Amino acid sequence: MKLTLEEVEHIAELARLQLTEAEKSRYREQLSDILEYAARLQELDTSGIPPTSSVLPERSVLRSDEPRPGLSLDELLRNAPAVDKNQFRVPPVLD
């Protein structure tokens, strides 16, 4: 699909771009090539491929989720800048 200069000017206007005549010509060629490639991809039969398929092997980079004991209250509050009644004390955020 070849774009016209008017279509490129319209796209540039939508994107708020000010293009020179040389840029319009170059972008017309580049955008036309992109649209032609997309049209070629649309011709491929992908009916037998599930939408969630991937060419990469299935593997997880995350560790397995295993429960572990948490911190004690003393350990938790040890590095707090201010503590009041076994709770973090923070400055007020509302008046």
Q: Where are the domains of the chain?
A: 5-42
Which pLDDT score, from 0 to 100, does residue 56 have?
83
Domain 5-42 sits in CATH 1.10.20.60: yes
In this structure, what token pair is assigned to residue 68? 């572990």
In this structure, what token pair is assigned to residue 23? 């840029």
Which pLDDT score, from 0 to 100, does residue 1 have?
78
Which pLDDT score, from 0 to 100, does residue 39 have?
94
Q: By percentage, how much of the chain surpasses pLDDT 70?
A: 100
pLDDT digits (tens, 9 = 90+) for 40-62: 999 999 888 888 888 888 887 88
Q: From CA 1, how far away is CA 39, in angstroms rounded?
A: 8
Beta strands in the chain (DSSP E): none
Which pLDDT score, from 0 to 100, does residue 73 have?
93
- Which residues does the chain have with pLDDT short of 70? none
- Say how many C-beta atoms besides its own lie within 10 A of residue 25's C-beta: 13
